[in-house]
Structure 1
Amino acid sequence: MNRSAMSLAALVALGLSGFGAFSSLAPAAAGTAAIVAAATERTETFAIENMTCALCPITVKTAMEYVDGVKSVKVNFDAKTATVVYDPSIATVEAIARASTNAGYPATPAGQGS
């Protein structure tokens, strides 16, 4: 191998070994992003009216998930509630309730938001 080829191989090897040191920081950065995202999320529980059959919770969940900023919806048929995790910089409690109400299932905040 000539000298320039050996120099190039050495630089590539050093570059790759240095990349490993920086790639070990990626999980920490991802963890920080998850913490920031969790800090900006809110949870609100809604009382849901008119749920009478097994398909009702699916309709409520689908309507609420359609609102931009909603991260997750869990509907409890027996308790007639829906617990929604959302980004308050995008979605509002009013918009989430309106989505369910417009689908035929009036929703009102149960006052347990965080």
Structure 2
Amino acid sequence: MFKTILTASFVLAAIAASSSAIAAIQTVTLDVPGMTCSSCPITVKKALMKVEGVQQVKTNFDKKEAVVTFDNVKTSTAQLRNASGNAGYPVSVKIAQ
């Protein structure tokens, strides 16, 4: 029994280690057509920065977009879309890198 538990522990540790090796930093450009005033980019940035795994957000009012750099193991573009949408700014993926 102990040997089985010990083996299972090693297997789980190996899986965890390999999962982090797969982690990749990604950048996505989000189209944010609802940004209509100078405070909108601030609100969008705050909402996106609250998402676990987000490392950087650059908003551009003139282009009506947000460029987000994130860890794809901790979050996804779907979670980014949800966060912005919940803040009142629905987005769509413009460019994923």
Q: CA deviation at 1:113?
A: 1.1
Q: Summarize the alignment of residues 22-41 of structure 1 with structure 2, pairs less than 5 Å apart.
A: 40-41=24-25
Alignment partners' CA distance in 2, 1:69 and 1:91: 6
Report the equivalent of 2:51: 67
**Residue 49 of structure 1: how far off its partner (Å):** 2.2
Indicate the structure with greater helix content.
Answer: 1
Q: TM-score, normalised by structure 2?
A: 0.75
Q: Does 1:49 align with 2:33?
A: yes
Structure 1 residues not aligned, in runs of 5+ = 1-38
Q: Does 1:86 align with 2:83?
A: no
Q: Which amino acid aligns with 1:113?
A: A
RMSD: 1.8
Unaligned runs of 5+ in 2: 1-22
Question: 2:85 & 2:55 partners in 1: Cα distance?
Answer: 19
SS at match of 2:96: coil
In structure 2, what is the Cα distance between the partners aligned to 1:77 and 1:103?
Answer: 16
Structure 2: distance between partners of 1:108 and 1:98? 10
Larger RCO (CA within 8 A; separation ≥ 6) = 2
- Counterpart of 1:90 in 2: which secondary structure? coil
Cα distance in structure 2, aligned partners of 1:41 and 1:50: 27
- Runs of 4+ that moved beyond 6 A: none
Identity between Structure 1 and Structure 2 (%)? 43
- If each structure's strand is expressed as a fraction of its own residues, which one has the higher value? 2
Counterpart of 2:57 in structure 1: which amino acid? V
Name the structure 2 match of 1:113: 96
For residues 50 and 91 of structure 2, what CA distance do their matches in structure 1 show? 15
Measure the CA separation in 1 of the matches of 2:34 and 2:73.
Answer: 30
